[in-house]
A and B are shown apart, each in its own frame.
Chain A
Amino acid sequence: MKFINLIKKDFPIFNRQINGQPLVYLDSAATSQKPQEVIDAVVDYYWNHNANVHRGIHTLGDESTRLYEESRKTVSGFIGAKDPNELIFVRNSTEAINLVAYSWGRQNVNAGDEILISEMEHHSNLVPWQMLAERQKATLQYIKVDKNGKLDILDLKRKLSPRTKLVSVVHVSNFLGTINPIKKIAEMIKKQKILQSRIPLRGTKNKRFLQPLSLSSYPLLLVDGAQAVPHTPVNVKDLGCDFYAFSGHKMYGPMGIGCLWGKREILKNMPPFLTGGGMINTVDWQETTFTGLPDKFEAGTPNVAGAVGLAAAVKYLQGIGMENIRKHEIELTRHLIASLDSPARNASRSEAGGSARRRLLARNDGLLINILGPKNAQDRSGLVAFTLSANSKEIHGHDVAQVLDSQGIAVRSGHHCVMPLHAKLGLAATTRVSFGIYNTKEDINRFIKALNLIPKIFG
């Protein structure tokens, strides 16, 4: 992308200095920064159009409703949904997943059933299922993560059973960066459904069972796309999932707006999650009937400014092109991994007058970095978590982040809401660098330079 250096100018926050240095923001997986266009859209909504939706007859009410529903169209089109009403506005991915767990889960998951998630889930796609399993006396099972940080697909195959009601997996891991093969998983689930539909045929001569049966409705596939939608083209129809959850604030939109996409026929049969105003047909003293999609799942006054801001973010992303963004992030990730990978080993081999990269690594003397997740930039999204030792002593992620902050560089440290996998890997805390469209190789070079301070401070 020839204009990548100009993108930073679209984001007013990069005018800021942090500790006397221009900001290098490497924490977009936690939340992305917002371009001026998104901020303008939110301001314009409150300046010129603010009114409640679906209620007033007056001009502003009409404008506000139209803006809200246009936003739904823009965002649903962006992820390849055919019908905008399949897109429910919620607060964030967490709420989207909770909506499914409470509404669909309580209706469909019963004692003895199984819910299958992976070991690399963010707590947001783990805790709701733990709670549901406990309540419904169902079992929560985990697809293993292999030593390369990828999903063990054979383990998924082993664990799919007629008792599996739902498979819920993350599209892109916020910790390992792994991009999971959602299409392949959807195909495996489809095979399982076909297999299950034929079960009554076995051991029976009754002609009745030879009638073509409709495909089993289980298991369903939910995908947590919070870390995928901002970074790579996503098409829910193409992926073959039943639910897709994502957050606005990670894709350059405002905080407090997120989406749940679901297949129409599934959403239609689900009971409401939250109840109240805006989602009813009729209410009498004892009974209420509910509206259709999507209002049934949007009780109360919605976040209209958030939806409008999110639509502006989508248009901004479309202007750059998701394919271009993916290419740019692969390039950055490759550069980062090359800069981080075993610097101490490389440094000891490096000679004066070596390549630019070698010289960079040579300055890292005393640092040993262990990169988590797949090593190939093609297999992962634009984020890299690592542990770091300085002079053979492991340095806590918080200390790494604090030193980097002193140089104006923002990274995340801790367990990134993936505690069980950290425990399995024997890690207390890691440091994570994650990219947005505004990042450049120059940012990475500044980050590497700042890492050199660590052995000096803790050496």
Chain B
Amino acid sequence: MSNIYHDLIIDHYQHPRNFGELKNPDAVVQEANASCGDLIEFQVRVKRSANREQRTEIGEIAWRGVGCAISTAGASLLSERVKQIRRISQISQISQAGMVELLGGDISHARIKCAILPLVALQKAIRNVAI
């Protein structure tokens, strides 16, 4: 385990980014991990462009929930990543391997489901807004 709780994870676990609620979210998705009792909720707001029909980018993102260090840091890191890439098409392509990589790559088999939980919640939220 020595490497699993490296500085990046501990930092995001103790100071989660984008933690909270949005005022008028376009989608709110909760995802639970039954075997852990973890619960992550992602809220997203689509960027309002001149052409209101276009829903291609995420404008705002927030999340909240309860979970272990891995799922908490995962949600935090993922929300940061969303703010970097913004584009819904790209966000929906983040893979499980990509998620593990985001967490620093050293996730044991037993903890994969902790790592994936935020990604599942986020991608469900994205599907709900992308028309």
Contacts and interface: CB of A to CB of B under 8 A. Distances in A.
Interface of A: 19, 393, 395-399, 402-403, 405-406, 413-415, 419, 422, 427-429, 457-458
B121 to A, nearest CB: 16
B82 interface: no
Contact of A414 (B4, B37, B111): B37
Q: Which of A395, A398, A457 has the most CB of B within 10 A?
A: A398
Contact of B111 (A393, A402, A403, A458): A402
A402 B4 contact: yes
Interface stretch (B19-27, B46-54, B61-69, B92-100): B61-69
B2 A406 contact: yes
B131 interface: no
A458 B1 CA distance: 14
A419 B35 CA distance: 9
A427 B39 CA distance: 12
Contacts of B114: 398
Contacts of B69: 395-396, 399, 458
Contact of B1 (A395, A397, A406): A406
A286 B2 CA distance: 65
A406 B38 CA distance: 22
Interface string B83-111: 00000000000000000000000001001
A422 B4 CA distance: 27
Given A398-B68, A398-B111, A406-B1, A458 B13 contact: yes
Contacts of A422: 37
A19 B34 CA distance: 28
Nearest to A422: B37
A429 to B, nearest CB: 4
A392 to B, nearest CB: 12
A429 B2 contact: no
Closest 6 CB pairs of A and B: A396-B68, A406-B1, A428-B37, A429-B37, A398-B68, A399-B69
Contacts of A399: 5, 68-70
20 contacts: A393-B14, A395-B69, A396-B38, A396-B69, A397-B68, A398-B36, A399-B70, A402-B1, A402-B108, A406-B2, A414-B35, A415-B37, A428-B36, A428-B37, A428-B38, A428-B39, A429-B38, A457-B5, A458-B10, A458-B69
A398 B70 contact: yes
B22 to A, nearest CB: 23
Contacts of B1: 19, 402-403, 405-406
A229 B88 CA distance: 55
Given A399-B69, A402-B4, A406-B1, A414 B36 contact: yes
